[in-house]
Structure 1
Amino acid sequence: MYPGRRVGEHPDRIALIMAGSRDSLTYRQLDERANRVANYFRAIGLRRADHIAIFTENHLDMVVTMAAAERCGLYYTPINSFLSVEEAAYIVDDCGAQLLVTTAAKMDVAQGFPERCPKVEYWLVIGAEAPAAPFEGFSAVIEQYPPAPVPHERLGTPMFYSSGTTGRPKAVKRQLPDVAPDEQLGIEAMGRRLFRMREGMTFLSTAPLYHSGPQSSISIGLRLGATIIVMERFDTEGFLALIEEFRVTHTMVVPTMFSRVLKLPSEIRDSYDYTSLEAVVHGAAPCPRQVKQDMLDWWGPVIYEYYGGTEANGTCGCTPQEWLANPGTVGRAFFGEIVIRDDDGNDLPAGVPGTIWFRGGNSSFEYLNDPEKTAEAQDPSGTMSKIGDIGYLNEDGYLFLTDRQAFVIISGGVNIYPQEIENLLITHPEVMDAAVFGVPHEDMGEAVKAVIQPLDPNGGTPELAQRLSEFCAEHLARFKCPRSFDFIDEMPRLPTGKLYKRQLRDEYWKDVARA
């Protein structure tokens, strides 16, 4: 979030523009506003390695706050703005924030924080002129401080919480480097090489900035002097319209966005110009093979993929050409060496799925306030770490994801990987979204259940269930086929694209005491 020399090179270039409101900041305005906030942070006594929290929708001043924290050596936690009072307050309190920034749009939730978060001393609200105590107006406060840089700027860094799709969210705390914020970071080099990002690009941000992928892409973009268009929320046709209007060169998406644009009527898809695109990067969730192939057929060889966790312990990536030569891969190791192991810690050969470990990457992360989870993620040697995914390598070292460990179905003693079944179901023309997981079964232990969001809101009929059953039988081994189908109006996906599968799965297990 630190543009550095870009402010002097092109102060009047638009740095950020909100896609809906069209509110914007030039590089000079972003720099001066961030400096005011940074001076405020110093004035209230925040020092290097202290912590703040941000509970906002996508907003210009959300970026300003993060940019200020990165000039003061602070940890900052952007919080999922769709959480309930209890869920969000847990994160505010757990991270040890001394200050919280929210918005008027989120005050219905944020007003419940003060009584639950006693560690917070300062409360700022964006877009409210006279908020009730203890909240103060963001602009009224920061305008009292100078737009000049704070003395001895030090780099701050985000501390993200997991999405909580498999349990209560935990913070991934990485080491805070003691460097000036204008030093070139490894993330910039990665963005240039892995995401094909370049100086002066026009970048379209499609997802919430509380997630590490979108947030880091914005950070890289500002360091490269980009003009960044931020969508307040993803709109399928609106995404295509913005690409054409702004002649977007780079964007980052999640696979569900691909699925949605592919299922638009052809007359809508064909009415927009995408020829400006140089790189469309996707990650955060597995992409069904057919969906990616269809996007490559449509937009050409501009689809790039990455795989990695918030832990930053290892990263993979692949170009369009590499994917076409190895369909289904998430790429080869870009940072760290991939090792596939079984449950006993033995290395596995090519083609055999097991737990994905990274050796030689960043193993210095910790899960805040959870030493047991931290130890579980680390190899005793201290040289390898994992994030809980299952996959395998082919003979050429390309990684293929199988599933999350938490969602493997064990039916009759056989491991079944839901991701494979979901990837198939999403390609059916009558399916908008799909989730597959195990449900209790008296004889087999678990049975395969599919929950479907039909393309037609009224299409969840027994006839569709029969068609989907036949579709699965045509493409999958019998033991992998769902034994039953349920229908849902809208899948509980996070805006980052991750499926909140635990919410679905727990309904089927709530009356069962599992061993």
Structure 2
Amino acid sequence: MTDVQDRVADLTDRLAEAAVTGMTQAVWADVQPDKVQIFEPSGRTRTFKQVNDNANRLVRLMRNAGLKAGDAVALLCSNRAEFVEVLSACQRAGFRITPVNWHLKADEVSYIVSDCEAKALFAEARYPAGKVAGDESTQLLLKVAIDGDVEGFLNYDEALAPLDPSNITDPSLGNQMMYTSGTTGRPKGVYRPNPVVPTATASSTRADYNRDEHVQMCAGPAYHAAPLAFDVRASMANGVPLVFIDKWDSELVLKTIAEKKVTHMHLVPIMFQRLLALPDEVKKKYDVSHVKYIIHGAAPCPPEVKKAMIEWFGPIIHEYYAGSEGGAGFFITAEEWLKKPGSVGKRPQLLQVRILDDEGKDCPTGVPGTIYHQLPPGGGFQYFKDPEKTAKSRVGDFFTLGDVGYFDEDDYLFLTGRDAETIISGGVNIYPQEIDNELVKHPAVDDVCCVGVPNEEWGEEVKALVQLREGFTPSEELKQEILQFARQTLAGYKIPKTLDFVDELPRSPAGKIQRKKVREPFWAGRTRQI
């Protein structure tokens, strides 16, 4: 072997050993200490060494507060260096991290912080929900404010300043628990008893990182499972710089790709559409020929949009299909997709996938049914503190995300629908029961059913069908009053875009709203894809 090959082999061995204890960041800090790891939207940067030093300080801060391996940490933070630092600290100290959606209302944030049993809360000062959660979550041992001062919280920079930045000597691999809303009630954590060891390669998705040449961009919110996995964690594991975008601006994103020489990124279809909508003269201003890898998923992507992106960027547009719960996972390259437009990939080889009808029987080729993914050895995941929801998602050692699809004669999966409960708008899951629960509180509302209806830009949008109480008359004024009522308790993206008054809503003999019947007229003549 040559000296170069020896060094590569040595680094590979070091990374594999470090991954088992969550210390990958420490290896990269040793190999390339002064290289910029994080480019923030503000223009501030952090090197690999700076991120690693702060991760060690954070472990000591949390341990001094009484946290032990296995304890939970909640993180309410935008796309900035502190997000990566807290994540890296949890990875090496055996803590279970839960990133929290900062778009949520205060009571929703408080619920997640309490439900995940967080012992520490790191909250960016610009989000008032952080203080509310800190005040209401009685189990917290440590509250830290990022980028500002919050009453009752330690200041992030001041708290870390006096602490030892050297690598901790007793690391243990941390865990992660994302929250995915249920169709009824509150969101639930997707809990895996055993943490997943991060890897320094992404051969299964053909990302093929080269730390000397590649640059990752995170244009979506880092708290979301896909940007967290494909952008944040991938860049951390592979030692490549990460460029954060805080708020979507199509030309800014394109400019950033060109100026920072971004090579890898995760996007969702609404981002494709917004980039394609830029005037030709704007698109021509920015060189994107260096981009090597774009992966997308999470929402419907119109075939013409994907084809246009492939024509613009080349055959580097890859697609995945999976969920926070895990499963076999599907992946398809641009070349495959052009031969099988609309498919999300071929049947995986390692874990099985079944298509079952309403009676639990396997569907024949070409016949749609509910998609069930095989659980990995050991059982995979549970919905945190919700055995009933866990059991309902299972058939034997298979589980479902509620998606509907079929395999063609070549074993390629095509998604044709989703259970009626879930709305995906711009890549974000919205659960209508939660909206129903708020709207029905209005004194004029007797019954309500929210569904997803077609939207050319977002894939779907929320529509509310409202049955009024006796004595109330439909009017535009009442419609706006009900929507304004919803804005007081629901996050903005959950507010119905439209509201229709109806005489009666269909319910089953058991009293359950028949959401599928309500939805069907809006999708007549159209295929509802995921």
TM (norm. structure 1) is 0.78
**1:321–1:148: structure 2 CA closer, same or farther, 3 Å change rule?**
same
Q: Equivalents in 2 of 1:109, 1:103: separation in Å?
A: 9
Partner residue of 2:219 out of 176, 197, 206: 206
CA contact (8 A) 2:183 2:421 kept: no
For residue 271 of structure 1, what is the aligned residue in structure 2?
285
- SS of alignment partner, residue 251 of structure 1: strand
The separation in 1 between residues aligned to 2:324 and 2:500, in whole angstroms, is 28
Alignment of 1:56-205 (within 5 A): 56-106=77-127, 108-129=128-149, 131-133=150-152, 135-162=153-180, 168-177=186-195, 185=197, 188-189=200-201, 191-200=202-211, 201-205=214-218
Provide the C-alpha distance between the structure 2 equivalents of 1:436 and 1:305, rounded to a whole number of angstroms: 23
Secondary structure of residue in 2 paired with 1:161: strand
Q: Secondary structure at the match of 2:405?
A: strand
Label 1:145 to 1:262 Cα distance change in 2 as closer, same or farther (>3 A): same
Indicate how the Cα distance of structure 1 residues 509 and 78 shifts in structure 2: closer, same or farther if over 3 A, else same.
farther
After TM superposition, give the deviation of residue 306 of structure 1 in Å: 0.8
- Within 1, Cα distance between the matches of 2:48 and 2:62? 21
Q: Distance in 2 between matches of 1:162 and 1:508?
A: 30
Q: Give the Cα separation in 1 of the matches to 2:503 and 2:100.
A: 28
When structure 1 is superposed on structure 2, of 293-302 and 114-123 the one drifting more is 114-123
Aligned length: 433
Instruction: Find the residue that maps to 2:109 and give its secondary structure.
Output: helix
Shift of 1:96: 0.6
Partner of 1:9: 31
Contact kept, 8 Å, 1:331 with 1:399, in 2: the verdict is yes
1:186-222 deviation per Cα after TM superposition (whole angstroms, max 9, x unaligned): 6544x33315141312111111111111112211211
Change in Cα spacing, 1:256 to 1:509, as seen in structure 2 (3 Å) is: farther
In 2: Cα distance, 1:12 partner to 1:75 partner: 29
1:234 equivalenced with 2:236 (yes/no)? no
Alignment of 1:466-477 (within 5 A): none
Q: What does 1:419-434 align with in structure 2 at a 5 Å threshold?
A: 422=454, 426=456, 432-434=457-459
Determine if the alignment matches structure 1 residue 345 to structure 2 residue 360: yes
Partner of 1:365: 381
How far 1:297 moved relative to its partner?
Answer: 1.6
Q: Match of 1:9, as an amino acid?
A: V
| Contact 1:49–1:73 (Cα < 8 Å) also in 2 | yes
Deviation at 1:506, TM superposition (A): 8.2
Whole-angstrom distance in 2 between the partners of 1:322 and 1:84: 42
Instruction: Give the drift of 1:439.
Output: 7.2
Q: Say which SS state the counterpart of residue 313 (structure 1) adopts.
A: strand
**1:171 partner amino acid:** G
AA of the residue aligned to 2:193: Q
Question: By how many angstroms is 1:400 displaced?
Answer: 1.2
Paired position in structure 1 for 2:439: none
Q: 1:360 to 1:77 in 2, by over 3 A?
A: closer
Q: Report the CA distance between 1:168 and its aligned residue.
A: 3.0
- Residue 61 of structure 1 aligns to a residue in which SS? helix
Q: 1:147-198: CA deviations, max 9, x gaps?
A: 1122320111221111568763211011234x9xxxxx36544x33315141
Query: SS at the partner of 1:86?
Result: helix
Alignment of 1:314-393 (within 5 A): 314-334=328-348, 336-361=351-376, 363-380=379-396, 383-393=397-407
CA distance in 1, matches of 2:408, 2:358: 20
C-alpha displacement at 1:403, in angstroms?
Answer: 2.1
Q: Structure 1's 439 and 138: CA in aligned 2 closer, same or farther, altered over 3 A?
A: closer
* CA separation of 1:27 and 1:438: change in aligned 2, threshold 3 A: closer
Q: Distance in 1 between matches of 2:501 and 2:194?
A: 42
The structural deviation recorded for 1:508 is 6.2
Q: Hey, what's the Cα distance between the residues in 2 that align with 1:35 and 1:258?
A: 38
Structure 1 vs Structure 2: percent identity of aligned residues? Answer: 32
Please say if residues 407 and 437 of structure 1, whose CA atoms lie closer than 8 Å, have aligned partners that are also in contact.
no
Given candidates 48, 57, 68, the residue that maps to 1:47 is: 68
Quick one: distance in 2 between partners of 1:345 and 1:81?
A: 39
Mapping for residues 457-472 of structure 1, pairs under 5 Å: none
Instruction: Provide the C-alpha distance between the structure 2 equivalents of 1:396 and 1:364, rounded to a whole number of angstroms.
Output: 28
Partner of 2:521: none
Match of 2:56 in 1: 35
The amino acid that maps onto 1:223 is: A
